[in-house]
Amino acid sequence: MIFALQTMDEQQFLQTGRVIPDPVAQAAQLAFSGVGSVEEIISLYAGFASDALAQACTSKIDFTYASLLKIALVQRRMRGDILAKYRAVREFMEHSLGIVLDAELLLALNYFARPQRYQRFIRPLQPEMRFTKFRNDLYASAWDLLLVRLPEQILSMSTPGSGVVSRSCYLSYVCTAEHALRDIMSSRSIMAVYVLPPELGDTKPFIGHNMEELEAVLGKDTLRKKLIKDGEWQINRFRNSMVRSPVSSDVLANVIVSLEAEAAAFCKLGS
């Protein structure tokens, strides 16, 4: 279907609303991809995308899950202000995960500011809840976060035999009534796409954040203080060579086991 849209006769579509193949466009796309048929190009790109996405998913989903676990624990344990909770999550990411995740950190700030709005996405830890259900729901939320950022992941992948995604790239976004996902999606924009040498990571999207809604919740002064403190924190990280690499899968697994044990202590015994 995507190939049909990319190679349709645009004039016919504008006039009739029908998707009619443009033989010239199809031949050019097949030649560019180095294949001789539509079936070959579908097999080539479907197989590549599946492998690349699988690797991206398995390497990132547990980092998101660990972050959501920490957000839930901080909300249950800390009685400090919103920014104090936010800094606790940031420090956890930096020291325990070795990576600071921007979307998850922004979610934490929104969650601490308006926990009721996000309680379906990160359920509050309660004595009457079953831990297994809490864990499964949180894993589902971690996958949802990955899904809404899938367009960014696609932009970061190169196609076979090419240094960039394509001469043209179609990105699809999900529609959702979930407050947390909607807020994250509406606040993030792909501002630019940089094509870098392979040793620097190939294609990289530059993501911008709209802080208007958060400003309305926190207040202009509080948000300004937060941004200033974040800038100082970043400068200190680079000055003191504190920027680290993500922890290994074994270390991450141990971090998750520890977090789950802490969360289970707040839930039903034996759940």
pLDDT digits (tens, 9 = 90+) for 86-106: 999 999 999 999 999 988 998
Name residue 163's amino acid: G
In tens, the pLDDT along 213-248 reads: 888 888 888 888 888 888 888 888 777 766 678 889
User: What gap in Å lies between CA 220 and CA 251, rounded to an integer?
Assistant: 39
Three-state secondary structure string covering 45-110: HHHHHHHHHHHHHHHHHHHHHHHHHHHHHHHHHCCCCHHHHHHHHHHHHHHHHCCCCHHHHHHHHH
Collapsed DSSP state (helix, strand, coil) of residue 206: strand
CA 126 to chain centre: 27
For residue 257, pLDDT beyond 90: yes
Segment 16-43 shows an average pLDDT of 77
Determine the pLDDT at residue 91: 93
Distance CA 195, CA 165 (A): 10
- The whole-number average pLDDT for the span 27-39 is 78
Beta pairing partners, 203: 195
d(CA 7, CA 22): 6
Q: Are residues 66 and 259 in contact, defined by beta-carbon separation less than 8 angstroms?
A: yes
Between 4 and 212, whose confidence is greater? 212
CA dihedral 258, 263, 265, 267 (to 10 degrees): -150
Looking at per-residue pLDDT, the higher value among 163 and 65 belongs to 65
CA distance 155 to 189: 13
CA contacts within 13 A on the Cβ side of 95: 7
For the ranges 27-36, 45-54, 159-168, the maximum mean pLDDT occurs at 27-36
Q: Please say if the pLDDT value at position 165 is more than 70.
A: no
Q: Which helix (H) or strand (E) holds 35?
A: none
CA distance 224 to 88: 19
Is the predicted pLDDT of residue 72 greater than 60, yes or no? yes
Query: Measured between alpha carbons, how far is residue 15 from residues 6, 12, 18, 60, 123 in Å?
Result: 17, 5, 8, 45, 50
* Beta-sheet strands, E only, within the chain: 188-195, 203-209
The SS3 assignment for 189 reads: strand
